[in-house]
Amino acid sequence: MRIEATVQQIRDLFQLAELDAQEHELPPDVYRSRREASRSRVASALLERYERLIEAGRYPALVAIDRGSCAGCHIRLPTMVESHARRSPCLLACPSCRRLVYAREHVGEERSPPEAARKKGASRRGARP
C-alpha cells in the first residue's frame, strides 16, 4: 500500500511519532495538549493509518528503510517497495509487519524519531486515547 505524501506531511508525522515516543517522559496534561496540536497538522490519511498501527501494537509505526530492510521488523523489502520509496517522497506499508516505511533521503533524516527514542530506552505500552 502506497500513501502519497509531501515531505512536509511526512515531517509532521515524524513530530507526532517523536511526541508519542516521549509519552512517559512528559506530564500527562502537557503530553495530551501537545499531541492534539501535533495531530491537527498531520494529513488525515497518514494520521488514520498511523493510529491504526499504534492501536495494533506496531510501535514504532513509522520506520526508515535501512539497507533494503524495514527498520521495524528487519525483513528485506521487495525491490519494488524499496524502489517506489526511493523514487519519490511517500510512505509504503512493509509487506511483513505493515509499518509505514520511508526512504531517508527524501526527508533528510539520519534516523526516524521513534528509532532514536527506542535506542534511548523509551518503551511504549497500550493504545492511544
- pLDDT tens for 28-75 read 999 999 999 999 999 888 899 999 999 998 889 999 999 999 999 999
- pLDDT at residue 113 above 70? no
Boundaries of every domain in the chain? 2-119
Residue with cell 512536509: 8
Phi and psi at residue 69, in whole multiples of 5°?
Answer: -120, 155
Write down the pLDDT at residue 114. 53
pLDDT at site 11: 87
Q: Which residues contact 23 (CB under 8 A, 6 or more apart)?
A: 31, 124
Distance from chain centroid for Cα 83: 19
Residue 121: pLDDT over 50 = no
Class of domain 2-119: mainly alpha
Tell me, yes or no, if the pTM score tops 0.85.
no
pLDDT value, residue 39:
92
- Asked if 43 contacts 9 with a C-beta cutoff of 8 angstroms, the reply is yes
